[in-house]
Amino acid sequence: MIRLLIAAPSAIVRAGLESVGAQGTGIEVVGASGLAGLSAAIDRHQPDVVLAAIEAHHDEPPEDLIALAARAGAPAMVVLAPDLQSTWTGDALRSGMRAVLPGDLGPREILAAVEAAAAGLVVLHPQDIPALVAERPLPTPQTQTLTPREVQVLAMLAEGHGNKTIAWKLGISEHTAKFHVASILSKLNAGTRTEAVTLGIRRGLILI
């Protein structure tokens, strides 16, 4: 069960996000908070994921949220921004946030982001991928070729599946699934699963 904490400046927005969270299978909304009291709410409710909505016109990263995301042992954080600023998305993600996404996402997309964040993945909006990929050079031609099984695992990573789910779907052990993921990261010269997925998309190995 994913313990979800809602945070937003507006009580109306909090109520809307609580309603969305209640629709998720395997998700328990453990509380709601304003942004100012979020740190105390995290300590009180011990959530796995924080779903936070910020107000419009944030031209700079919300420093308080970034500080919370960077804390040791902090829950995964998914941020919805009405005016998505791709210029600071990269900085926010590097600081520990799991997702910075448009505020007009539908319930299914929000719940998928929450589930992916709980699984330890970073969620990217399509419009941010080119800029984020450009920040890191693409693999050299010497990059090793993925095996068909590794391509299959990479596609599952793109869908947000964790090692346990990958192992179950492929009928293999979780240890073997972890081995495949480690091999994919090594062959693509990727530092994270998200980067491996991004590079796989750019190389045409997987489609989204």
Phi-psi region of 55 (alpha: psi -120 to 50; beta: other; left: phi over 0): beta
Nearest to 155 by CA among 127, 124, 186, 196: 196
DSSP state of 30: E
Burial 95-113 (b: 16+ CB within 10 A, else e): bbbbbbbebebeeeebbbb
- Share of residues in the chain with pLDDT > 70 (%): 80
Per-residue pLDDT tens digits for 68-86: 877 777 899 999 887 665 5
Per-residue pLDDT tens digits for 152-165: 899 899 888 989 99
pTM (two decimals): 0.61
Residue ranges and CATH numbers for the domains of the chain are: 2-128 (3.40.50.2300), 136-202 (1.10.10.10)
